[in-house]
């Protein structure tokens, strides 16, 4: 523009140019609306009045424990900061018929169990692989996949969505990123890449929907995974009786002064430490000085401190072995890492740790820094919260089974369970609240609730019962609980029986697997109670399952299908469809591990 064509004085024009020179396009759009509002004496005009910005972006998340949902919300917030219109949806709530109309689609999805989609993503996953899947040649998309490299089918669901959408004609807006348990940095990088790729499309597309002026991002919680609250330990009680083959602790911590809030169904995140004996055995195998300084993501630290707090030294994964192979030319190791030996790799890693790796394939001269560069970050552990804030203000309770076992000639210990078991009575624990919106009591207190939680799976149901009791919920409650022995392993027995006597727990059905010749599990009791169980389901009961994802949860799921089929006079396919509808309507929720 020629300076003579505008009403500004030369020095004003120069100041305006200097002020706007560093602004992003979305900031310029907002500023133009703001100035238009000032000129007319009214409220700021939205950016839409100044210029269109492009088609709306749909963000879909499929999450079992809440990580995917949290990342999707972060992505939506970042998009909002840049003036990008984003429609955030849970895959469970997404209308599949809308898929063929999408222009820009961002997916964040986790992999559950042995390569399965999370419950909330199952229906959409099945749809895109069905004959009804539409042509998607007009779609641009990107996928963020969450998983765990210690599992054979790492990020399989994310890969499925990525590959299938491309097969249906869609074009990648940005490359898929596969994230391990330490996902924050990779996820942030992917988000920045996606938003950068969206910029040109949004600015050039005609007929764009309106975009409101950007609003500030939501305030981050004071305490988080990156900044945990040091919660004083109040109590640690062994729930198993004398003679039990297990040790399970009920642990209570104070949240006083933290401002932390939680809802039954949420989890408590704990940042553990590796066992000192394993740390120093690893340093000895490396032939290093424990005080050798190493560079970590948290800055320079002594080697023993880094191995104690920063790095996972108990889990072997493909990336760890791949990095280690660069220091060791073993043909056996190379064979394990070959694509056609993936199952052998998983089998070799099972029950072994980094100390085994150094002893099995020793590398002369491997430095302390080279060792820590091989390792992934020590992930926090999540425990289902076993308390209600209504019943225990400023407290949080968890149920922790101590893990110890023998493997490959050595005694092994679970990282977090033994860290907690070894704490002094005046200790404080680094914690944060992990929200899980996919495991929630029904909003209507009159709705019946069925809870299936053997072993430590009973933890969230203790919280559910306390919450329902505190609010005077009128809906009936039914708990299926199981463990090994009635006399030594009936956790929370006194509490549960009191709730039963008081009528808060309407029904309590138990199974103790080793109190008779043939093992008896909660699934057996469910079949025995099939008629009444089906009646509750037909009357609108919400079903909750918590516990082992590998065996218990699939077996309970199949038992529910059989009960619905038998009692409802349906075939198995119809019963399975019935249960899927319960998932979609959030009447069937699972918290498995």
Q: What is the mean pLDDT of each run of 10 residues along the chain (593 residues)?
A: 50 61 50 53 44 70 91 93 90 93 96 86 95 95 94 92 97 96 93 92 54 44 90 98 96 97 98 98 97 95 98 95 92 82 83 97 95 96 98 98 97 97 96 95 97 98 98 97 97 98 97 96 98 98 95 96 97 96 94 91
Q: What's the maximum distance between 2 C-alpha atoms anywhere in the chain?
A: 98
Question: CATH number for the domain including 251?
Answer: 2.40.30.10
Residue 457: inside a domain: yes
Q: Same structural domain for residues 280 and 263?
A: no
Q: Same structural domain for residues 290 and 258?
A: no
Report which DSSP code applies to 133. Answer: P
Residue 530: inside a domain: yes
Q: Same structural domain for residues 252 and 341?
A: no
Q: Same structural domain for residues 134 and 184?
A: yes
Residue 439: inside a domain: no
Q: What global pTM score does this model have?
A: 0.85
Q: Same structural domain for residues 80 and 151?
A: yes
pLDDT score for 40: 46
Residue 441: inside a domain: no
Query: How many domains is the chain built from?
Result: 5
* CB 68 within 8 Å of CB 146: yes
Give the strand pairing for 381-384 and 267-270.
Answer: antiparallel
pLDDT score for 23: 53
Which DSSP string do the residues of 54-96 spell out, in sequence order?
-SPEEEEEE-SSSHHHHHHHHHHHHHHHTT--EEEEEGGG--G
pLDDT score for 352: 97
Chain-centroid distance, C-alpha 125: 18
* CB 319 within 8 Å of CB 181: no
* C-alpha gyration radius of the chain: 27
Q: Same structural domain for residues 81 and 150?
A: yes
Rounded to the nearest 5 degrees, what angle is found at the Cα of 241, between the Cα atoms of 235 and 242? Answer: 115
Q: Which of 434, 458, 474 is the last residue of a domain?
A: 434
Among candidate residues 152, 560, 544, 580, the one with its CA nearest the CA of residue 384: 544
Report which DSSP code applies to 209. Answer: P
Q: Which of 159, 187, 204 is the last residue of a domain?
A: 204
Q: How far apart are CA 592 and CA 110, in angstroms?
A: 14
Domain that holds residue 387: 229-272+380-434
Q: Same structural domain for residues 457 and 345?
A: no
* CB 129 within 8 Å of CB 136: no
Site of tokens 């394939």: 361
Site of tokens 């056609």: 340
pLDDT score for 50: 38
Q: Same structural domain for residues 16 and 154?
A: no
Compute the Cα dihedral for 335, 338, 344, 345 and give only its sign: positive
Residue 213: inside a domain: no
Rounded to the nearest 5 degrees, what angle is found at the Cα of 405, between the Cα atoms of 427 and 265? Answer: 55
Q: Same structural domain for residues 42 and 187?
A: no
Q: Which residues pair with 89 in a beta bridge?
A: 60
Q: Which of 324, 343, 374 is the last residue of a domain?
A: 374
Question: CATH number for the domain including 484?
Answer: 3.40.50.80
Question: CATH number for the domain including 292?
Answer: 1.20.990.10
Residue 103: inside a domain: yes
Q: Which helix (H) or strand (E) holds 310?
A: none
pLDDT score for 221: 66
pLDDT score for 11: 59
Q: Same structural domain for residues 160 and 95?
A: yes
Q: Same structural domain for residues 190 and 314?
A: no
Q: Same structural domain for residues 154 and 97?
A: yes
Residue 216: inside a domain: no
Residue 414: inside a domain: yes
């Amino acid at each position: 523009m020629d300076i003579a064509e505008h009403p500004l004085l030369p020095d004003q024009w120069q100041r305006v140019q200097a002020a706007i020179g560093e602004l992003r396009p979305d900031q310029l759009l907002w500023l133009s609306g703001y100035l238009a509002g000032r000129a007319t004496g009214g409220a700021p005009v939205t950016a839409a009045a100044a210029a269109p910005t492009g088609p709306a972006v749909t963000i879909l998340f499929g999450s079992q424990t809440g990580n995917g949902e949290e990342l999707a919300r972060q992505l939506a917030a970042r998009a909002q900061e840049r003036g990008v219109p984003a429609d955030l949806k849970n895959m469970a709530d997404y209308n599949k018929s809308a898929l063929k109309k999408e222009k820009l689609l961002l997916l964040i999805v986790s992999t559950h169990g042995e390569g399965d989609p999370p419950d909330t993503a199952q229906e959409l996953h099945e749809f895109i692989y069905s004959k009804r899947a539409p042509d998607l040649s007009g779609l641009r998309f990107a996928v963020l996949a969450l998983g765990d490299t210690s599992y054979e089918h790492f990020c399989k669901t994310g890969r499925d969505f990525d590959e299938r959408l491309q097969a249906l004609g869609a074009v990648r807006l940005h490359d898929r990123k596969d994230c391990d348990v330490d996902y924050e940095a990779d996820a942030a990088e992917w988000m920045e890449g996606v938003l950068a790729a969206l910029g040109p499309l949004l600015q050039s597309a005609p007929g764009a929907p309106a975009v409101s002026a950007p609003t500030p991002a939501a305030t981050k919680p004071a305490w988080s995974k990156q900044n945990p609250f040091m919660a004083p330990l109040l109590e640690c009680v062994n729930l198993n009786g004398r003679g039990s083959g297990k040790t399970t602790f009920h642990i209570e911590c104070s949240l006083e002064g933290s401002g932390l809030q939680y809802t039954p169904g949420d989890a408590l995140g704990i940042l553990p430490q590796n066992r000192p004996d394993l740390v120093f055995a690893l340093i000895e195998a490396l032939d290093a000085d424990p005080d050798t300084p190493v560079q970590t993501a948290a800055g320079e630290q002594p080697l023993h401190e880094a191995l104690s707090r920063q790095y996972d030294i108990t889990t072997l994964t493909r990336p760890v072995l791949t990095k280690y192979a660069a220091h060791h030319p073993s043909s056996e190791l190379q064979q394990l890492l070959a694509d056609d030996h993936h199952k052998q790799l998983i089998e070799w890693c099972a029950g072994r740790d980094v100390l085994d790796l150094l002893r099995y394939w020793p590398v002369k001269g491997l430095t302390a820094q080279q060792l820590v560069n091989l390792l992934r970050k020590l992930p926090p552990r999540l425990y289902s919260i076993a308390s209600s804030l209504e019943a225990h203000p400023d407290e949080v309770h968890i149920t922790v089974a101590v893990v110890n076992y023998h493997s490959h000639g050595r005694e092994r210990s679970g990282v977090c369970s033994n860290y907690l078991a070894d704490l002094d009575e005046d200790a404080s624990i680094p914690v944060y609240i992990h929200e899980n919106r996919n495991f929630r009591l029904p909003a209507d207190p009159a709705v019946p609730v069925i809870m299936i939680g053997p072993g430590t799976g009973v933890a969230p149901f203790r919280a559910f019962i306390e919450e329902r009791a505190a609010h005077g919920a009128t809906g009936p409650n039914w708990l299926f609980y199981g463990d090994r022995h009635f006399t030594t392993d009936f956790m929370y027995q006194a509490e549960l029986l009191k709730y039963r006597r008081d009528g808060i727990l309407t029904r309590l059905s138990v199974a103790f697997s080793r109190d008779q010749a043939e093992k008896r599990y909660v699934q057996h009791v469910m079949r025995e109670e099939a008629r009444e169980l089906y009646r509750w389901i037909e009357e609108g009961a919400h079903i909750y399952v918590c516990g082992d994802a590998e065996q218990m949860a699939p077996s309970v799921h199949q038992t529910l299908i059989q009960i619905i089929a038998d009692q409802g006079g349906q075939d198995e396919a119809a019963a399975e469809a019935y249960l899927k509808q319960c998932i979609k309507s959030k009447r069937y929720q699972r918290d498995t591990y």
